[in-house]
Amino acid sequence: MNFLSNESPSTEISQSTSEEPLSVDSAVIHMRGVPVRVPSAKIQGRTVISTGKWLKTAVLPDEELIEGEAVPDPVSFISQLKETALTADIFTFAQRLPDKDPKYTYRFEWENFAIIPITTYSEWWEKRVDTNVRRAVKKAAKSGIVVKEAEFDDTFVKGIVGINNETPVRQGRKFWHYQKSFEDVKRENSTYAERNIFIGAYLREELIGYMRITTSDKVANVVQLLSMMQHYDKRPANALIAKAVEVCERRGLQHLLYYNYIYNDPKSSLTEFKRRNGFEPVLLPRYYVALSAKGKFAIALGLHQGLVKRIPKPLLSKLLKMRADWNARKLRTNESAAQE
């Protein structure tokens, strides 16, 4: 599960050899853009955190960014997890590329990901993307946009801050990074520093879009892809993805992964954007292991994936549209008030 920008535990967890439960530490994660301190434990070199109120779930933060198999030996790992004092009802972990077929006998649900298999740039350009994407990338170049790998220095961070502060609402939702400080933006984008790749889209030397990629083994994970809405017509986002495919080929990476292909609405503009840019849906198993009677009960009733998954799709689509309309009206009202 991805929490982005999570911080490491403040202290190491002591591995007790006595009969007492292994000690519990704490870690800071970012949920909806807000830092939250949660209980954590160290197991076989992996940090496990516990989140939730009524139903507590143990997960590995930024699981998809871990190098190597996240849980190499689930039986041993879960046994040690139960020995800790970490309070949790369910433990969940996902299988990683390239292993698509379920390897374990635990209860699992298929989790969808948006992935571009990397062969060659020309294969992506000629066979995977829509014609309108090829036009968009060419339009970006004709509009004067230059896309290139960038150094993560203070100038680049200031550019990110400028992009973040363009609008408080994106895709019909409150934008979590709006008005974050320079220091917060720099710290949050400095995690996994040795494995980060930053790509910038520049217009007359101004950063108008950027992409942060974090590699894990042979997978390039898109952690952030953002561009200024005022320059949407110049198609910087399409140009950034094109450059990312080129970079992946050059570095010998095998997959470009952009998190979920479908979130709640299969007809969303984000899903359509990914499809047009050559991403395809890939299903990987996510396992759920009950650690308590409550966890076993929740899994049996299908409550382990959260209440949102229980809402009928037609109703959920209406609720999402209502939220988007409300945020758009609120933004227009605030802009009108600022101009008076």
Answer whether 160's CB lies under 8 Å from 188's CB: no
Residue 33 lies in domain? 25-110+283-332
What does the alpha-carbon distance between residue 285 and residue 304 come to, in Å, rounded to a whole number? 15
pTM flag (> 0.95):
no
Using DSSP bridges, classify how beta strands 57-59 and 107-117 pair: parallel, antiparallel or unpaired. Answer: unpaired
Write down the pLDDT at residue 212.
98
Distance of CA 226 to the CA centre of its chain: 13
Question: How much of the chain, in percent, has pLDDT values that exceed 70?
Answer: 82
In a domain, 339, yes or no: no
In a domain, 104, yes or no: yes
Segment 156-182, tens digit of pLDDT: 999 999 999 999 988 778 898 999 999
Using DSSP bridges, classify how beta strands 107-117 and 173-174 pair: parallel, antiparallel or unpaired. Answer: unpaired
Q: How many other C-beta atoms can be found within 10 angstroms of the C-beta atom of residue 182?
A: 12
In a domain, 263, yes or no: no
Q: Are residues 43 and 155 in the same domain?
A: no
Query: Residue 333: pLDDT above 90?
Result: no
The candidate with the shortest Cα–Cα distance to 48, out of 30, 64, 62, 69, is: 62
Cis status, amide bond into 98, omega within 30 of 0: yes
| Count of the separate structural domains present in the chain | 2
In a domain, 303, yes or no: yes
Report the CATH number that the domain containing residue 243 is assigned in CATH: 3.40.630.30
Average pLDDT of the chain is 87
Answer whether 68's CB lies under 8 Å from 101's CB: no
Confidence of residue 9 (pLDDT cuts 50, 70, 90): very low
Write down the pLDDT at residue 5.
33
pLDDT-wise least confident of 36-40, 160-164, 323-327: 323-327
In a domain, 89, yes or no: yes
What does the alpha-carbon distance between residue 50 and residue 52 come to, in Å, rounded to a whole number? 7
In a domain, 191, yes or no: yes
Handedness of CA 174, 165, 188, 196 (dihedral sign): positive
Segment 182-208, tens digit of pLDDT: 999 999 999 999 999 999 999 999 999
Q: What is the CA radius of gyration of the chain?
A: 21
Answer whether 207's CB lies under 8 Å from 201's CB: yes
